[in-house]
A = this chain, B = another copy of it.
Amino acid sequence: MNIILSNLKIQVNEKIYVKDPETSPLGKKIVEQSILLIDEIGFDNFTFKKLGEKIGSNESSIYRYFENKHKLLVYLSSWYWSWMEYKLVFATTNILDPSEKLDKAITIVTEKVTDDINTEHINESILNKIIIAEFTKTLQTKEVDQENKEGFFLIYKRLINRIVGFINEVNPEYPFSKSLASTIVVGSLHQHFLTEHLKTITDCNEYVSTTQFYLNLTKNVLR
């Protein structure tokens, strides 16, 4: 997987950016440092001015890559889910047993993320923290229907539907495969959040993982 990923450019819908940040050093710096800054101060407090100061660049230069900070977050999310999709595809390729394949998939999307050294400018571990803390904000806006039409969430929906396919292989009779898949993916983000901030309403902690909870849940639901 490593070799393949190192030669692979994660593709993100062109409508999300003004100029593709992967095509220049400044663009890459914007992506790299925005991840660190959003993690540090939170998306709500994040501004292009602050990012400009952090990277020693002008605010107006950042606007040449992204229309606004919302689009930047959508970009980071798309990148994350696309990267996650690759991990999932490679981890499940050549596995014939449907249950084993589904378990692998659930493990990939629910476990804690470590940095992928093949992507120079992106720290996936920190990006994962941002996704846990901020992902639903990309969806929960008044513009969601318009942005959905423009394909902003295609990669995310494709990832969910890959898991739906695995669920259907395990139990073709189960009538809620889509809801189960979306529950696993977005629910595990929430459980990670609770583990960090509201420990009294989750069982997940350093000893019992979110992955265990969802593996157990899925096994029981589909048997």
**Which A residues lie at the B interface, using CB under 8 A?**
41-42, 44-45, 133-134, 136-137, 139-142, 144-145, 148, 153, 157, 160-161, 164, 175-183, 186-187, 190-191, 193-194, 197-198, 200-204, 208, 210, 213, 216-217, 220-221, 223
Contact = CB atoms under 8 A, between A and B. Distances in A.
A183 B182 contact: no
Contacts of A160: 201
B193 A139 contact: yes
A139 to B, nearest CB: 7
Q: How many copies does the complex hold?
A: 2
A190 B179 CA distance: 10
5 contacts: A145-B197, A175-B208, A179-B202, A183-B190, A220-B223
Given A178-B203, A179-B203, A139 B198 contact: yes
Contact of A148 (B44, B137, B198): B198
Nearest to A140: B133
Contact of A198 (B157, B203, B220): B157
B161 A201 contact: yes
Contact of A42 (B141, B161, B202): B141
Contacts of A201: 157, 160-161, 164, 178, 181-182
